C-alpha cells in the first residue's frame, strides 16, 4: 500500500514539473559531411549541457542529417564521432528559447585519438518559420530599466511594435497594460515556463514577476506565432526561469528608494509639500518615503549530474506618506444649497456635503499650459 502511494506521488510530481516542451525548449540539427562535402551516415552525434552534463545522442540518417528537439535552453557542446574520422567537438553554443539551432559539421580524416575542437555559437537568426519576436536574455533583463517596481513585464514596452496603449484604446489587465501592433490590451497571452499565466477575471498576467534575477530569458512573440501557442491573438509573453547546475551559483540585490531621490509631482506641489512658507519652512522636498527591495537567488546540485535546485527569496517593504488627492472645483455655499435641494437625500451626496467644506470662491477651469492635474 505504501509503495502504491509513493508511486502515485512520484507520478504526480513528474506530471506537475514536466514543462510544455515546444514552449520552453529549442532544437539542434544539421548535416555531417567530410572535407569533400560527401555526407557521412551513421555518425554518432552527442549534445551535452555543460552545466548539468545532461546528454542527448542520435545518429545521422542516410542523407547525413541529424536532429535533436525538446532540448532545454542553456549552454551546450556538440560532439560527432564516425569511423575513420577525427572526433569533432564544437563548444560555446548557447541555445535560446524556440531556437532551431543549425550546427553543420565538416569532419577530417584521422585516427581514433585525434580531436578537432571548434569554439563557435550557433546563429540565432530564425530561418525556419515566419515568427516575429524579441528575446530578452539575462543581461538585458538586468540592464534595461524596469521602473521602480522592477516589474519584468515592463521589458515588453521596449520591443518594436509594442506601446503602452494604442490609439483610442482603454482597458484594464493585471500585471501590465500594453498593445502589440494595435492588438487589444486583453488579447496578450502570458506564460511562465510554457505554462498558462493568464488572469481569468480581468485578463493580463496572473503571477507578478518583480524579481528579474529569477528569470533566465523572456521571449515576446508579436506576430505570426506558431501552432503551439493559442488562447490569445495579440502577443505571447513567455518567461523562462533559471535552473540549477553542477556548480553553485547565485546573486544578491538591494534596491533602495526614498523621498530624497524623488522630485515633487504636481499633486505634491498643490498639497504644499514643495513650497516652503513662513509657517512651515521645511516643506521643500517630496513627501516622506522609504522603499527597499532586498533578496537573492541560489542554485546548485543535489545529486551531481542528476538532480539540481534553484531558489529565490525577496522582501519588499515600502513606507510612504502620499500627497493625497487634490480636488479642484469644490461647490461654494450657494452651490451646496442647490445640491442639497436637488439630491441631498442620496447617501453619497449627503456624505459629500457633510465632510467637504465649502469653497471660498468660485473655481475657474484650467487654461492651456496650467500644470494642475
Which CATH number characterizes residue 185's domain?
A: 2.170.130.10
Q: Which of 212, 241, 270 is the last residue of a domain?
A: 241
Evaluate if residue 15 carries a pLDDT over 50: no
Same-domain pairing of 219 and 290: no
Residues 6+ apart with CB under 8 A from 331: 338, 339, 358, 359
Cα(75)–Cα(54) distance, integer angstroms: 11
Whether residues 74 and 90 fall in one domain: yes
Q: Are residues 111 and 23 in the same domain?
A: yes
Sorting pLDDT into bands at 50, 70 and 90, what band is 278? low
User: Any long-range contacts for 51-54 (C-beta under 8 Å, 24+ apart)?
Assistant: 51/75, 51/245, 51/246, 51/247, 52/243, 52/244, 52/245, 52/246, 52/305, 52/308, 53/246, 53/305, 54/305
Residue 199 falls within a domain, yes or no?
A: yes
Quick: pLDDT tens for 226-269.
777 777 778 889 899 998 888 898 999 898 988 888 888 777 77
Whether 372 is in a domain gets the answer: no
pTM of this prediction?
0.67
Tell whether 306 is covered by a domain: yes
Same domain, 283 and 228: no
Beta bridge partner(s), residue 75: 94
- Residue with the larger pLDDT of the pair 32 and 231: 32
Look at 131 and 46; give whichever has higher pLDDT: 46
* Domain count along the chain: 4
Across the range 72-99, mean pLDDT stands at 88
What's the pLDDT at 281?
A: 59
Does 200 lie in the same domain as 152? yes
The answer as to whether 125 is a domain residue is no
In a domain, 11, yes or no: no
Instruction: Let me know whether 73 and 161 are in one domain.
Output: no
Ordered DSSP codes for 262-295: ----HHHHHHTTTS--SS-TT--SPPPEEEEEEE
For residue 299, the model assigns a pLDDT of 93
- Note the helical H segments in 164-254: none
Instruction: Please report the pLDDT score of residue 181 as a whole number.
Output: 85
Residue 352: band (very low, low, confident or very high) from pLDDT cuts 50, 70, 90: confident
- Continuous segment of H or E residues that includes residue 141: helix 138-143
Biggest distance spanned by C-alpha atoms of the chain:
103
Query: How far is it, in rounded angstroms, from Cα 133 to Cα 219?
Result: 7
Q: Are residues 256 and 301 in the same domain?
A: yes
Q: State yes or no: pLDDT of 32 exceeds 90.
A: yes
Q: Are residues 237 and 253 in the same domain?
A: no
Q: Can you tell me whether residue 27 is helix, strand or coil?
A: strand
Q: Assess if residue 59 is contained within a domain.
A: yes
Instruction: Provide the terminal-to-terminal Cα distance of the chain, rounded to the nearest Å.
Output: 69
pLDDT digits (tens, 9 = 90+) for 165-184: 756 666 677 878 888 888 88
User: Three-state SS for 115?
Assistant: strand
**Do residue 22 and residue 73 come from a single domain?**
yes
Helix 333-343 and helix 347-355: axis angle, to 10°?
A: 160
Radius of gyration of the chain (CA): 30
**Are residues 64 and 149 part of one domain?**
no
Residue 273 lies in a domain: yes
Task: Look over the chain and give the mean of its residue pLDDT values, rounded to a whole number.
Answer: 80
Q: Is the domain of 112 the same as that of 33?
A: yes
Tell me the mean pLDDT in the region 103-115: 82
Which of these three, 225, 241, 257, is where a domain ends?
241
Q: Which of 196-200, 234-238, 355-359 has the lowest mean pLDDT?
A: 355-359
Q: Which of 85, 119, 153 is the last residue of a domain?
A: 119
Q: Are residues 275 and 345 in the same domain?
A: no
The pLDDT value recorded for residue 9 is 45
Q: Looking at the domain assignment, is residue 195 inside a domain?
A: yes
Range of the domain at 57: 17-119
Q: Between 7 and 326, where is the model more confident?
A: 326
Which residues of the chain form beta strands (DSSP E)? 25-34, 44-49, 55-59, 65-72, 74-81, 87-95, 100-102, 105-107, 115-119, 132-136, 162-163, 179-180, 188-192, 195-196, 215-223, 235-241, 249-258, 289-303, 307-320
Q: By the 8 A CB rule, do 291 and 256 touch?
A: yes
Amino acid at each position: 500500500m505504501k509503495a502504491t502511494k509513493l508511486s502515485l506521488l512520484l507520478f504526480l510530481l513528474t506530471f506537475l514539473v514536466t514543462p510544455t516542451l515546444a514552449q520552453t525548449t529549442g532544437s539542434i540539427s544539421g548535416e555531417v559531411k567530410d572535407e569533400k562535402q560527401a555526407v557521412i551516415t551513421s555518425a554518432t552525434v552527442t549534445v551535452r549541457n555543460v552545466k548539468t552534463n545532461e546528454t542527448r545522442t542520435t545518429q545521422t540518417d542516410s542523407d547525413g542529417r541529424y536532429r535533436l528537439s525538446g532540448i532545454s535552453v542553456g549552454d551546450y557542446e556538440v560532439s560527432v564521432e564516425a569511423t575513420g574520422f577525427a572526433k569533432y567537438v564544437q563548444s560555446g553554443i548557447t541555445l535560446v528559447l524556440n531556437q532551431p539551432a543549425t550546427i553543420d559539421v565538416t569532419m577530417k580524416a584521422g585516427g581514433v585519438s585525434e580531436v578537432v575542437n571548434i569554439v563557435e555559437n550557433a546563429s540565432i537568426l530564425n530561418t525556419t518559420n515566419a515568427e516575429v519576436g524579441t528575446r530578452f536574455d539575462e543581461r538585458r533583463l538586468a540592464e534595461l530599466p524596469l521602473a521602480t517596481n522592477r516589474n519584468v513585464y515592463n521589458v515588453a514596452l521596449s520591443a518594436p511594435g509594442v506601446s503602452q496603449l494604442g490609439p483610442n484604446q482603454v482597458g484594464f489587465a493585471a500585471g501590465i497594460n500594453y498593445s502589440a501592433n494595435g492588438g487589444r490590451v486583453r488579447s496578450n497571452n502570458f506564460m511562465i515556463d510554457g505554462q498558462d499565466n493568464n488572469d481569468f477575471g480581468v485578463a493580463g498576467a496572473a503571477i507578478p514577476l518583480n524579481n528579474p534575477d529569477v528569470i533566465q530569458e523572456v521571449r515576446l512573440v508579436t506576430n505570426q506565432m506558431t501552432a503551439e501557442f493559442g488562447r490569445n491573438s495579440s502577443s505571447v509573453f513567455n518567461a523562462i526561469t533559471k535552473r540549477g547546475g553542477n556548480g553553485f551559483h547565485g546573486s544578491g540585490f538591494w534596491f533602495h528608494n526614498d523621498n530624497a531621490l524623488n522630485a515633487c509631482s504636481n499633486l505634491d506641489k498643490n498639497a504644499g509639500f514643495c513650497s516652503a512658507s513662513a509657517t512651515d519652512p521645511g516643506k521643500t522636498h517630496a513627501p516622506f518615503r522609504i522603499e527597499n527591495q532586498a533578496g537573492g537567488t541560489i542554485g546548485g546540485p543535489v545529486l551531481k549530474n542528476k538532480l539540481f535546485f534553484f531558489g529565490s527569496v525577496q522582501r519588499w517593504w515600502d513606507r510612504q506618506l502620499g500627497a493625497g488627492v487634490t480636488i479642484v472645483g469644490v461647490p461654494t455655499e450657494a452651490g451646496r444649497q442647490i445640491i442639497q435641494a436637488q439630491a441631498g437625500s442620496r447617501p453619497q451626496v449627503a456624505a459629500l456635503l457633510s465632510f467637504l467644506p465649502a469653497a471660498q470662491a468660485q473655481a475657474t477651469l484650467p487654461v492651456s499650459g496650467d500644470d494642475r492635474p
